[in-house]
Amino acid sequence: MPRPERRFWLFKSEPESYSIDDLKRDGRTFWDGIRNYQVRNFLRDDVRVGDGVLFYNSNADPMAVTGTMTVVSAGYPDHTQFDPRAKHYDPASREDSPTWFMVDVEFERRFDPPVTRDMLKCHAGLAGMGVLQKGSRLSVTPVTAEEWRIIHQIAGVSDGPAKKLRRTKT
DNA sequence: GCCAACGTTGGC
DNA sequence: GCCAACGTTGGC
């Protein structure tokens, strides 16, 4: 059976909190702390293993796409919602019906230099990107295959997976 | 640091 | 169910 077509996303992170270099060091991480229902629905229902993700630095200098990652797990409950010491603890959420979900991601490649927000804004083909829309605060937004291709072209790297995707148990 | 744009909360 | 108040996000 053919692999379903690869889809693409942009995930925001404040690099002071977690950066592409942190991910390169860790190799793989869980994308926790999402507390927005629209984004929750993306993570729970739409993000799939093998999808490509742009790593975007928000609240940073410069604001930029600093690299890419690969989704390596489907959505599953974010355990930090149950932890009273966690920053994003949600006392209203119950373990038997979790409110918040997360996915696991794996480092794919680092963009050197990064593709800055200014560069994104300069390219007519990227004008529709969620992250560029005025007032957009979603920390996860869909990216089209064309936007993915253009950004890799700007970065000067191939837009295929950086390495063969590890086969994961399902 | 400012503030516009949002999402959430809670009184009614 | 409305909506004002509030807190947060995040670009500028």
User: Could you tell me the CATH number of the domain that includes residue A127?
Assistant: 3.10.590.10
Closest CA to A42 of A108, A139, A130: A139
Residue A88 maps to a domain: yes
Q: Confirm if A34 and A101 have CB atoms less than 8 A apart.
A: yes
pLDDT at A170: 56
Residue A167 maps to a domain: no
- Residues of A from 63 to 92 whose C-beta is within 7 A of strand C: which are they? 63
Side chain identity, residue A129: M
User: Which nucleotide does the CA of A14 lie closest to, via C1'?
Assistant: C10
Closest CA to A165 of A49, A60, A31, A76: A49
Check residue A162 and report its DSSP letter.
S
Residue A58 maps to a domain: yes
Quick one: tokens of A162? Answer: 């950086």
Nearest residue to B8 (CA, C1')? A36
Domain that holds residue A109: 8-155
- Residues of A from 52 to 81 whose C-beta is within 7 A of strand B: which are they? none
Distance in angstroms (rounded) separating the CA atoms of residues A27 and A22: 8
* Residues with pLDDT less than 50, chain A: none
- pLDDT per position as a tens digit, A10-38: 999 999 999 999 999 999 999 999 999 99
User: Which nucleotide does the CA of A137 lie closest to, via C1'?
Assistant: C9
A88 touches strand B (CB under 7 A): no
Residue A120 maps to a domain: yes
Q: Confirm if A53 and A10 have CB atoms less than 8 A apart.
A: yes
Biggest CA pair distance of chain A: 47
Distance in angstroms (rounded) separating the CA atoms of residues A49 and A47: 7
A168 touches strand B (CB under 7 A): no
How many domains does the structure of chain A reveal? Answer: 1
Q: Which nucleotides of C are covered by protein (CB under 7 A)?
A: 8-12
